[in-house]
Amino acid sequence: MNFYILIKATDWLIMAKITLKKLSHSYLANQNNDADWALRGVDIDWKDGGAYALLGPSGCGKTTLLNIISGLLKPTEGEVLFNDKDVTTLNPVERDIAQIFQFPVIYDTMTVYDNLAFPLKNRGLSDTEIDSKVREIAEMLELTSTLNNRASGLTADGKQKISLGRGLVRSDVNVIMFDEPLTVIDPHLKWVLRSKLKELHQKINRTMIYVTHDQIEALTFADQVVVMHEGQIVQTGSPVELFEKPKHTFVGHFIGSPGMNILPCEIKNGQINFEGKILPTNTSFKKTNFNKTQVGIRPEFINFSNDGIQVKIKRVSDTGRHKVIDTECKSGSIKILASANTEIPTGSTYISFDQKYTFAYGDNWIIE
């Protein structure tokens, strides 16, 4: 098995480093303020063969960015480099990329086999080459038994596998891009397809970029996640980094379910002052001149205690694995996540924050 992968690895050698330099894009002819830009000053360095995700809510600019990388859109400003070569003005074919869309794109009148063979035929490969490639990929995607069926008769997940397969059969692909590929897939099949994708990535080791609004999809797929908000990158990091140390309140809110608790506080003498109490942290804050200062703590890192911050328990929802507890303190509401067998006090109680995971934010950016 390992031997097999080793031989095959030579097939996948054409890979690309992707660099984005000061990319900005606007759909308007004239731009007067920040809101007129769909993308603002995006800089990214992506290595060969990595699994990356672009994560953000609708309208954050992630699809715009994806289309710029694939060449379907020309940026208003900035450069796109593949292996240090400027490809900004090249079209998708010249860039050698593959893209999988939100809705499965298949050629209705063709069989599954012909669908998979189509990109290779267009590139003038010999029939024997095409046949071996198509069968290899069909095997990987578990499509072998349907190869002779009409593609239009398959279920949504089968069709999406074909779309993916058409990208995988090509050995000249620099990068495979996914634009919310699991949108039309039933929840119980999402698991299967997601694992399949991850497995494929580890097998063929090609650069993959995955665009989604779903944090679970992004975090499970990618080694590096780029979180976008209002046309800007707010943080790039591994799933663990994004979870444990969000650099922006938006990341804290957007990643994690429920998201981070973010409450107003004061920074005095390099310490967080919250509801008249000093909150211990692992850092001492030097810069303090902000318009707005906040403290952030994830629901996972809050414990019930005998003293600390006084809260009122509002509601407990049991999700089987966890309990989500809604509480209220003087400065706002705080959510707590506790394991299913935790005893939950009633009425008024005290909570404490894990100091390792307590952060201060000035004008929404982390203070370090």
Partner 1 sequence: MNKTFNQKAWYFVIPVFVLVAFNAAVPLMTVVNYSFQETFGSNVFAWEGTRWFKEILHSERFHASLGRQAIFTFIILLIQLPLGIFIALTMPKKGWGVPVCLILMSMPLLIPWNVVGAMWNIFALPDIGFLGNSLNSIGFDYNFTQQSGDAWFTTILMDVWHWTSLVVLLSYAGLNSIQPAYYQAAEIDGASRWDIFRYIELPKMKKVLTLAILLRFMDSFMIYTEPFVLTGGGPGNATNFLSLDLVKMALGQFDLGPAAAMSLIYFLIVLLICWIFYSLMMKDEART
Partner 2 sequence: MSLELKEVEKKVGIETHIYSTNLKLEKNTINVLLGSTLAGKTTLMQIMAGLDKPTSGEIWFNGENVTGKEVQKRNCSMVYQQFINYPNFTVFDNIASPLKITGINSDEIKKRVGKVAELLKLTTMLNKKPDELSGGQQQRTALARALVKDSDLILLDEPLANLDFKLREELREELPKLFEDRDCIVVYATTEPLDALMIGGNTATLLEGNVVQYGKTLDVYNKPENLTSAKVFSDPPMNIAEINKSGDKFTLTDNNVQWTSNVNIKDGNYKIGIRPHNITTYKEGSNSVEINGKVLISELSGSESLIHFTNGKLNWVSLSNGIQQRNIGEDTKLHMNVDEFLYFDQSNRLVNHG
Q: Which residues bind partner 1 (CB under 8 A)?
A: 70, 72, 91-93, 97-99, 101-103, 105, 107-110, 118-119, 122-123, 150, 152-153, 163, 166-167
- Chosen from partner 2, partner 1, none, partner binding at 21 (C-beta under 5 to 8 Å by type): none
**β-pair partners for 248:** 365
Longest dimension (CA), the chain: 76
User: Is residue 368 a contact residue for partner 2 (CB under 8 A)?
Assistant: no
Nearest 10 degrees: Cα torsion 23, 28, 31, 37 = -40
- Chosen from partner 1, partner 2, none, partner binding at 186 (C-beta under 5 to 8 Å by type): partner 2
User: Is residue 320 a contact residue for partner 2 (CB under 8 A)?
Assistant: yes
From candidates 213, 271, 288, 331, binder to partner 2 by CB under 8 A:
213
From candidates 81, 198, 313, 350, binder to partner 2 by CB under 8 A:
198
**Other C-beta atoms within 10 Å of 314: how many?**
12
- Cα distance between residue 54 and residue 228, in whole Å: 7
- Chosen from partner 1, partner 2, none, partner binding at 181 (C-beta under 5 to 8 Å by type): none
CB of 220 to partner 2, least distance (A): 4
- Cα distance between residue 261 and residue 252, in whole Å: 8
Contact stretch for partner 2 (CB under 8 A) within 100-108, 109-117, 129-137, 313-321: 313-321
Q: Is the peptide bond before 258 cis (omega within 30 degrees of 0)?
A: yes
Rg of the Cα atoms in the chain? 24
CB of 317 to partner 2, least distance (A): 6
8 A C-beta contact, residue 53 and residue 60: no
- The first and second tokens of residue 41, run together, are 């000053």
User: Is residue 191 a contact residue for partner 2 (CB under 8 A)?
Assistant: yes
Burial class (CB in 10 A: 0-12, 13-18, 19+), 80: buried
Residue type present at position 203: K
- Chosen from partner 2, partner 1, none, partner binding at 216 (C-beta under 5 to 8 Å by type): partner 2
Our CB check for partner 1 shows the closer of 107 and 191 to be 107
- Chosen from partner 2, partner 1, none, partner binding at 99 (C-beta under 5 to 8 Å by type): partner 1
CB of 276 to partner 1, least distance (A): 56
